[in-house]
Amino acid sequence: MKAVIGVPLRYEHLDDGRCILYLGEKVRRCIQKASGYVLPIAPVQDVDYMDTRGNEFPELTDLEKDTIEDSLGLVDGIFFPGGRKFTPYDRYLLERCIEKRIPVLGICLGMQLMSCYLEDVSLEKNESVINHKQESDEGFTHKVKIARDTKLYEIVGEDEIEVNSFHNYHATINKTYNISAVSEDGLIEGIELPGNVFNIGVQWHPEISYDFDDNSRKIIDAYIEACYKYRDIKEKAKLNNLIEKEK
């Protein structure tokens, strides 16, 4: 049985004005190539996710939180993809992943969500001579330096790598997560939660370059491996509970 990777759906307007939920094809395909099973997770609040501003979202109800718990009971990891904005739904989902020690990989907006964990949203518009928003999915646009005492370095094994870039805003300092990578102009490009749980965010898109870049494959594959380990631990705990009940 494959590890189940939950992916929160993102939101977009069609040309005719209708709002849709979507899962990016690059995300789906790279997870499947890495031997994961993709489980889309829909938002839970009865609001217009596209037109509601970040500070206008209502708090989650107990019923909505229970729905999120139901989703987490089905997964072995959560993959936070890129997108336009994150919401109380995303923030609560991350909070529960951390509490339950569920493996997390955040990409672009997903990393920015993680950078605001337990804090007010704090993102700044990019102002740099370095191009942080390339036009093509092919190739890379700048380099990032990776700190040696990090999980990201353990995975990649390089002090500096080339990455792709598709963002207009960047994360600022976070008190909960450690910074694992920075760009040549000093912007935060990678963060991770201290400890032995896989909880890593990167500002670039390894899912887009998975097919042609070794470092991207290392990151995605390491994440999926962590999800398999979490699944095994979860299954062992269930088995032990059954044995205890029958004694």
Question: DSSP for 139-172?
Answer: S--EEEEE-TTSHHHHHH--SEEEE--B-SEEE-
For 86-130, the pLDDT digits (tens) are 889 999 999 999 999 999 999 999 999 998 887 776 665 667 667
For 36-68, the pLDDT digits (tens) are 999 999 999 999 888 888 788 999 999 999 999
pLDDT at 165: 83
Q: pLDDT category, 242, cuts 50, 70, 90? A: low
Q: pLDDT category, 191, cuts 50, 70, 90? A: very high
pLDDT at 28: 98
Q: How far apart are CA 158 and CA 244, in angstroms?
A: 46
Q: Report the relative pairing of strands 142-146 and 178-183 from DSSP bridges.
A: antiparallel
Reduced to 3 states (helix: H, G, I; strand: E, B; else coil), residue 4 is: strand
Please give the mean pLDDT across all residues of the chain.
Answer: 90
Do 156 and 215 contact (CB within 8 A), yes or no?
Answer: yes
Q: 44 burial class (0-12, 13-18, 19+ CB within 10 angstroms)?
A: buried
pLDDT at 33: 97
Q: pLDDT category, 168, cuts 50, 70, 90? A: low
pLDDT at 48: 87
Architecture of domain 3-246: 3-Layer(aba) Sandwich (3.40)
pLDDT at 108: 92
Tell which wins on pLDDT, 21 or 186: 21
pLDDT at 36: 98
Query: Is this model's pTM higher than 0.85 or not?
Result: yes
